[in-house]
Amino acid sequence: MKPIPHVIVLDTCVLLPNVLRQGLLHLARLGCFTPVWSTVIGDEWRRNAARLWDISDAEVLIQWEALQQAWPASDLGDVAGYKEGLSRSDPKDWHVIAAASKVKSCGRGEARVAIITRNVRDFHRAELYHLGVELLDPDALMLRCLENAPQAMRRALDAFPAHAAEHGREIEPLGLILRRERLFRLNKRLHANGWLTEEGVSTLRATTEEAPPSSQAVSVVAEQTGQSS
């Protein structure tokens, strides 16, 4: 069983979809990991959100500021200085790797750091390996959370239908939502384990296991941003 990383850089592409963003941050609130991003990721999020959601820049800014207030230690700020030496990944994603490198360089101990993105082909795994950074897609991270922290995953999954209905949709079966969010392996695992009915309703078995708080990750991020956890 592979562990959940302590600190995870959330790429713009996983912060944009409402259900995925809410689900990941729900898991973070339950102590599975500490989420981080950078100024550039924030800029990309605001620019793309305004275009995709057809809302005003002012409204997008309000939403981003609300996210910043909810996670005051997660914004790493300027990470441009940590791009030095990168060459094998797509240059447009160097800023994402730089965010992970900033956490590694400012962290303490053996904090596990990862990038979560849907654009895994844009990152060179060997380059990340030498930096001590892991690369995951959302499906792989959700599976790790299921294996390592099933109760936290249960709570996050139970909230998925409500997240999906926030923008006018009717309440939908969980299985349908997972497929739409491209969480195909998670959906398959839940069905195989009998934790999801044919109607897509979560039936995860009760367990006393809980996700351990990411105290190490929080202290790492708080220290390098000058904030306290």
Give the number of domains in the chain.
Answer: 1
pLDDT tens readout for residues 3-38: 999 999 999 999 999 999 999 999 999 999 999 999
Q: Which amino acid is present at 220? A: V
Q: Give the Cα-Cα-Cα angle 115, 118, 124 (nearest 5 degrees).
A: 60
Q: Give the Cα-Cα-Cα angle 67, 70, 74 (nearest 5 degrees).
A: 80
pLDDT tens readout for residues 102-143: 999 986 557 899 999 999 999 999 999 999 999 999 999 999
Global pTM? 0.88
Give the per-residue pLDDT at 163.
93
Is residue 107 within 8 A of residue 17, CB to CB? The reply is no
List the CATH number of the domain containing 24: 3.40.50
Say which residue the tokens 């994402």 belong to: 96
d(Cα 174, Cα 165) in Å, to the nearest integer? 12
Q: Are strands 34-36 and 113-116 parallel, antiparallel or unpaired?
A: unpaired
Say which residue the tokens 């973070």 belong to: 28
Domain that holds residue 20: 1-229
201 pLDDT band, cuts 50/70/90, is: low
